[in-house]
A = this chain, B = another copy of it.
Amino acid sequence: MTSVKNKPSRIFSQASSYFEELQEKICAALEVADGQGQFSTDAWSRKEGGGGRSRVLEEGGIFEKAGVNVSTIHGMMPESIAKKMEVPPSLFFASGISLVLHPQSPMIPTVHANFRCFEREDGDRWFGGGVDLTPYYLFEDDARHFHDQLKRACDVHDKGYYPKFKKWCDEYFFVKHRAEARGVGGVFFDYLRDDAIRIFDFVRSLGDSFLPAYLPIVERRKDEDWGEQERSWQLLRRGRYVEFNLVYDRGTTFGLETNGRVESILMSLPPVVEWHYNRIPDVGTRESDLLMVLRHPREWAANGSA
């Protein structure tokens, strides 16, 4: 398909609808899990074309800040972006769902998921996405459960996906200047251009696996004790999250450079963050144990990634 079009393809529209349904489903389940907070909804449109729906829950029972955003936009691709993507500038369509959940308790990990479909006017189309977990304290069971669920969703489609996308995730969510991973990883993929129907099926499986991958961890950890020290460590680690998102994250960069809706793009940033000079945990503490894992990413899925 290389004919120039001014409307997106059928599969793009299906992907876009799926992202909207997924947003509904995830927000409904998160409200139940939270027990107190409710999502507000902002529908917005973009001057250059398209728009989105941002849903945010702040100061809930479990979630200090939870943002789940969908958007479907179109327009001319800025040259800077085209250069980074190594494609010629052209009319493009982009649809995606992006979520970041920041729990109040340092014992519950932060989680991120994003799925997107990108289409150029010449019919060139690809899917990208990722799901990754950022704990403040390491519970190995949680990391294993999370990866097992993602691996299961991948394996149905291609046994090669999980090992490939797990590695990609470790490489992508890497805070280079700190020489540490953002968290315990998950999966990440981009520019998947093979058979679109097959890829979209896979993206759907992974999207559907988000809640079973994450919610059991919330259930397991919500009653863990924590105090000042754990909170302080969480706020410091959240700073690394901000550093990654603002310095390296392609989605954030893309959004800011395409004149995207700033409040929706930066919904990913944690509600409260601290930066202290040179605060390094003592060896042998739980805080230091986490750093060891971030510096040396492990295999977590039941059958490794072999």
Contact = CB atoms under 8 A, between A and B. Distances in A.
Interface stretch (A77-85, A124-132, A157-165, A264-272): A264-272
A278 B263 contact: yes
A153 to B, nearest CB: 30
Interface stretch (A12-20, A141-149, A184-192, A241-249): A241-249
Contacts of A42: 278
A169 to B, nearest CB: 22
A109 interface: no
A177 interface: yes
A126 to B, nearest CB: 25
Q: How many copies of this chain does one complex carry?
A: 2
Given A256-B247, A262-B178, A277 B58 contact: yes
Interface residues of A, number: 31
A239 interface: yes
A291 B243 CA distance: 25
A275 B278 contact: no
Contacts of A277: 54, 56, 58, 65, 67, 263, 267
Given A177-B262, A246-B247, A256-B247, A270 B275 contact: yes
Given A246-B247, A263-B278, A276-B58, A269 B177 contact: no
Contacts of A58: 276-277
Contacts of A262: 177-178
A273 interface: yes
A255 to B, nearest CB: 9
Nearest to A270: B275
A274 interface: yes
Contact of A274 (B176, B177, B178, B272): B272
A112 to B, nearest CB: 15
Contacts of A274: 271-273
Given A246-B247, A262-B177, A239 B269 contact: yes
Interface of A: 42, 54, 56, 58, 65, 67, 176-178, 235, 239, 242-243, 246-247, 256, 262-263, 265-267, 269-278
25 contacts: A56-B277, A56-B278, A58-B276, A65-B275, A65-B276, A65-B277, A177-B265, A178-B262, A242-B246, A242-B273, A243-B246, A243-B266, A246-B247, A247-B256, A266-B275, A267-B277, A269-B275, A270-B275, A271-B274, A271-B275, A272-B272, A272-B273, A272-B274, A273-B273, A273-B274
Given A42-B278, A263-B277, A266-B275, 20 more contacts: A54-B277, A58-B276, A58-B277, A65-B276, A65-B277, A67-B277, A176-B256, A177-B256, A239-B269, A242-B242, A242-B246, A243-B246, A246-B246, A247-B247, A247-B256, A267-B277, A270-B275, A271-B274, A273-B273, A273-B275
Complex A-B, nearest 3 residue pairs according to Cβ-Cβ distance, in ascending order = A246-B246, A269-B275, A177-B256
